[in-house]
Chain A
Amino acid sequence: MNFDLSEEQRMWQKTVHDFIAAEVRPHAYEVEETGELHWDAIRKMGPLGLLGLNVPEEYGGANVDAISAAIAIEEVGWGCGSTALTLAAHNGLGVTPLVQFGDAELKKKWLPRVTSGKHKLSALVMTEPQAGSDLQGGIACRAEKSGNEWVLNGAKMWCTNASIAEYIIVVVRTGPTGGSRSLSQILVPTDTPGLHIAPPEKKMGLNGSPAHAISFDHARVPLGNLVGEEGRGLQQTLSTLDGGRIAIGAISLGLAEAALEASLKYAKERKAFGHPIADFQAIQWKLADAAMEIELARNMIQRAAWLKEEGRPYSVEASMAKLYASEMAERVCYNAIQIHGGYGYSREYPVERMYRDARLMTIGEGTSEIQRMILARSLLGG
């Protein structure tokens, strides 16, 4: 057993941390208030490798190992939740299906574009107004073949990055029957006529990361825009989501670390009854619990990432890590506000933003309930 990061991973962590501390974190407040990402920083992420974490070098990516990818997303989460969600949706959802299942032509056309930082990013949408957790039964958005084109019709919901993406990979129904082999992934460039992207949703937090309702009205794309195999869309999406869950866990971890850092600083500064509040056991225990739970979550996330890197099954571990880290982050951020007292409720301090950001993590890419269902299924069989 060896819990140390490799030399390469350690250098990567330091580089990403320094980058985020200098270029992303100072803008987190403004990103949330204005609803606009800090594009200066995103442009610089291309050469650093943050926009092509699992993309092979020949397509402009960094192709880092799974642990390095988790470390990077954790660091971005530490700096800014919105930026982290957009990066996780781009790397984990928008890019991964193309890397794993796309043919060489699609890869060559799109990957260098979205990993460079010079253009826009990418997105994946499965969710619909009437279908979230239940993809197999619920997806109504459909694509039909007409000549050498797919024609898409229907509505999608909660597409993170839609307005800042070069393309959206859409999970649609391509088979008339409803079974598990009736869905496919189709790449739709965002300038496709018939694709309508609604204004960003007004959200509780993560407001710098735009999520949109989108709709298709006879939107036509070449048949070659099918990603992977026709009828394998559900399986491809579920396999993408396993990796995505590590990323959501990593954002949660980063948010919790930032909240603990803010809490430690505040607890040492703030005085009550003649003492820094850090002298009170009630505050100390909150800090101690936070540190312990963060340590545990990091271990779970890095182990799931390690299994992934080793090419071994990791769905269960990824689910556990996502479930634990996201619920942990909410607790730690909740207590961070408590430690800050009234100021914790003020936008002058960052912890209320972290709390709002953390809240999504128990919902996106599989709710806590769905994660528990996955775990129970693996325990009970069936």
Chain B
Amino acid sequence: MKIIACIKQVPDSEAKVKAENGQVTYGDAPLVINPFDEYAVEGALQQKEASGGTVTALCVGPESAKEALKHALAMGADEAILVSDAALENVDSLGAARVLAAAILKIGDADMVMFGRQTLDNGAGVTAPQTARVLGWPMLGLAGQIKVEGGSVIVERVLEEGRQIVKANLPAALSVVQSIGEPRYPSFMGIRKAAKAAIPVWSLADLAMAAPAALVTRAATMNPPARETVCEFITGESPEAIAETLAEKILAEKVL
């Protein structure tokens, strides 16, 4: 079983997001592996433990994203590959999907590709199905349980309405959700391996492709207007009088 876990590096959840000169900035917030993608790595490692094989962590991102890949290696992934190219700086999700698909084919022989359900920064949640579409593989989204049987994979999908069991032939793309189980902590052995690992960096030229044109472009980003708050204490003779004044104010402010 050859499994590829696609991960992204994102700003820590405590980052203060704001717009500066029309661009989104996260300040100097620490960059971490996308928390949703840790479930993809966990799911991939569970499948490796169940059926043997290898787990490759794959990321499209800047040089700094090696840190996120090292986290996946420390958790137990066997190898990691970074696709990095200056031309990919403002890549949209479809562009990223095309690059991921090319990298997945270059790695070769993958049985399953696992994603997190969405990213913490953009949160669109479409990269996984887009990659599956580019590859022409079945897409099993929101997988909470995964079982490989012969040449197919059976997935229990976790939906708002309930659970749904679906089956598809391999190779397939999956997005993995929390029900898969808490992502394991790295072990010291994993860290030792990850610290020493030389992570190959592939450029677009290595994938024999041109920079995908962005279909989605963002006009200048602006901060939301600053919120002004005024605090007013309402006093009155009786609770009824206070309530009456409050109701009048609420109506006057057109809150209701």
Contacts and interface: CB of A to CB of B under 8 A. Distances in A.
Contacts of A219: none
Contacts of B194: 11
Contact of B70 (A11, A18, A49): A11
Contact of A48 (B70, B187, B195, B196): B187
Nearest to A57: B189
Interface string A79-120: 000000000000000000000000000000000000000000
A4 interface: no
Interface in B178-227: 184-189, 191-192, 194-196
Contacts of B74: 11, 15
Contacts of B187: 47-49, 62
A11 B189 contact: no
A44 interface: yes
B192 A48 contact: no
B184 A47 contact: yes
B185 A47 contact: yes
Interface residues of B, number: 13
A62 B195 contact: no
Contacts of B186: 11, 15, 48
A11 B66 CA distance: 12
Contacts of A48: 185-188
Given A8-B195, A11-B194, A11-B195, A64 B188 contact: yes
A15 B195 contact: no
Interface in A44-69: 44, 47-49, 57, 62, 64, 68
Contacts of B184: 47
Contacts of B189: 49, 57, 62
A15 B185 contact: yes
Contact of B195 (A6, A44, A49): A6
Contacts of A64: 188
B216 to A, nearest CB: 33
A266 interface: no
A19 interface: yes
Contacts of A7: 195
Interface in A1-27: 6-8, 11-12, 15, 18-19
Contacts of B195: 6-8, 11
B185 A12 contact: no
B52 to A, nearest CB: 20
A15 B54 CA distance: 23
B68 to A, nearest CB: 12
Contacts of A44: 185
Contacts of B196: 8
B77 to A, nearest CB: 14
B14 to A, nearest CB: 12
B80 to A, nearest CB: 14
Contacts of B192: 8
Most buried by B among A44, A49, A57, A68: A49
A62 B186 CA distance: 12
A102 B189 CA distance: 24
Nearest to B74: A11
Contacts of A49: 187-189
Contacts of B191: 8, 11-12, 15
Contacts of A18: 185
A103 B194 CA distance: 33
Nearest to B192: A8
A18 B74 CA distance: 14
Interface in B53-81: 70, 74
A62 to B, nearest CB: 4
B185 A62 contact: no
A19 B188 contact: no
A47 B60 CA distance: 30
A49 to B, nearest CB: 3
Contacts of A57: 189
Most buried by A among B184, B189, B191, B192: B191
Top 9 A-B pairs, shortest CB-CB distance: A49-B188, A8-B195, A62-B188, A7-B195, A11-B191, A15-B186, A48-B185, A47-B187, A12-B191
Given A48-B185, A57-B189, 20 more contacts: A6-B195, A8-B191, A8-B192, A8-B196, A11-B194, A11-B195, A12-B191, A15-B74, A15-B185, A15-B186, A18-B185, A19-B185, A47-B184, A48-B188, A49-B187, A49-B188, A62-B187, A62-B188, A64-B188, A68-B188
6 contacts: A8-B192, A11-B70, A12-B188, A48-B186, A49-B189, A64-B188
